[in-house]
Amino acid sequence: MTLLAALFFGLMMLGAPVAFAIGISGFSFFVMSDVIPTAIGVQQVATASQSFPLLAVPFFVLAGHMMNKTGITSRLIRCSEVLVSWMAGGMAQVCIVLSTLMGGVSGSAVADAAMEARILGPDLIRNGYSRGFTCATIAVGSLITATIPPSLGLILYGFVGNVSIGRLFLAGVIPGLLMMVGLMFTVWLISKRRGYRSAMVERPSWRSVGAAVYDAKWALLFPVALLVAIRGGFFTPSEVGAFAVVYAVIVGVLLHRELTWAGAMEALLHGLLDNGLIVLIIMFSGMVGYAIIFEQGPQTIAAAMLELTSNPAVMMLMIVVFLLIAGCFVEATVLVLLLTPIFLPIVRQLGVDEVHFGIVMMTMVTFGGMTPPVGVAMFAVCSLLDCPIEEYFLESLPLVATILALVGVLIFVPQISLFLPNLLM
């Protein structure tokens, strides 16, 4: 077990791709073992890929790319501008609202952050917003996609922990909206102090708001349709992923009439590349997961942590601190696959709801992508907008504090996450 961990982190420090760092370290466990045949490791790779719930991941990834080719993104930007650009720091507020709306389309924080950096980032900088503030707003704001359905992280958590994906989707709605409100308030305070003006002189009329919402109706209805389809029993979460692809094609071809054959092929190519990376990590994680369970890693860690405290809230805080540190160095997908089997039995033993824990866990592991030293979303945004990491870090501190405060509230008030699942399911 020690060899597996040392090899994994050693390969990561040397810059090896995450999938191969997991695969090599996992396979080395079976090669060095005198008890387990090496063939078992290969079987675990195959077994990890043979899961019906796992089909939701490639379908939703493809659906996100398809929707970016259908004119949905441009309509959501226009809708966001009408809704909030009249506020102080209006252009930055658009980034926060767009992240919330895009959470129901892309399902990926990194994809959302990169898209906003390309489309909105240059305009913010030209209008006087500092590079650090622009990058921090875009990157930290993309965290909202971690909980707004269809979150890919919640799908993976439900798959690994055998937790209802439908309940997870419902549980993420209110925390996601609270993140939006909290970040918008923080951006408003900073903008007021610095004199970042609104993009619009006057508040929009109800007529213009209604027109913008109506224009983006098919995008806004998408997450609602997903939740209704799952709650109504029309589709399983995996089947809803296939429905999402069909929905994107229908919107792009018949309703918006913007999805071309070339655009569809480009979306398929990007979906293939993204899915290849994600599924490879999932498959190789099967070996590591088997090794962790065989060595009784969850039981050992659980016993050690339970010796420290049996208070559920304190335990959750300890796990959150660990996830915050781990998220700074390891990508969110990897953390979900490797740490869910370890931490979920601990919180279950203490009576913490597994759905509530999933929302907190996904928020924290995704949050690591917005923080130094190796945050994926942070690097994506800073590289696209040519922003020094030091400037980004200083400008992100108020937004980071807002997120951490919200996570603290979620820990101590689980009803925020559980209200909708308990009400509707």
Q: HEC profile for the chain?
A: CHHHHHHHHHHHHCCCCHHHHHHHHHHHHHHHCCCCCHHHHHHHHHHHHCCCHHHHHHHHHHHHHHHHCCCHHHHHHHHHHHHHCCCCCHHHHHHHHHHHHHHCCCCCHHHHHHHHHHHCHHHHHHCCCCHHHHHHHHHHHHHHHHCCCCCHHHHHHHHHHCCCHHHHHHHCHHHHHHHHHHHHHHHHHHHHHHCCCCCCCCCCCHHHHHHHHHHCHHHHHHHHHHHHHHHCCCCCHHHHHHHHHHHHHHHHHHHCCCCCHHHHHHHHHHHHHHHHHHHHHHHHHHHHHHHHHHCCHHHHHHHHHHHHCCCHHHHHHHHHHHHHHHHCCCCHHHHHHHHHHHHHHHHHHCCCCHHHHHHHHHHHHHHHHHCCCCCHHHHHHHHHHCCCHHHHHHHHHHHHHHHHHHHHHHHHCCHHHHHHHHHHC
Predicted confidence band of residue 53 (pLDDT cuts 50, 70, 90) = low
In the prediction, which pLDDT does 149 show?
A: 80
pLDDT average, residue stretch 292-320: 75
Query: Model confidence over 190-237: pLDDT tens digits?
Result: 988 888 777 666 778 888 888 888 888 887 887 778 777 777 777 776
Range of the domain at 111: 2-424
Predicted confidence band of residue 276 (pLDDT cuts 50, 70, 90) = confident
Query: Model confidence over 99-134: pLDDT tens digits?
Result: 888 765 655 677 778 778 887 888 888 888 888 999
Q: How many domains does the chain have?
A: 1
User: Which range among 58-67, 234-243, 386-395 has the greatest average pLDDT?
Assistant: 386-395
In the prediction, which pLDDT does 373 show?
A: 67
User: Which range among 281-295, 394-408, 411-425 has the greatest average pLDDT?
Assistant: 394-408
Percent of the chain with pLDDT over 90: 12
pLDDT average, residue stretch 245-268: 86
pLDDT average, residue stretch 301-321: 79
Predicted confidence band of residue 72 (pLDDT cuts 50, 70, 90) = confident
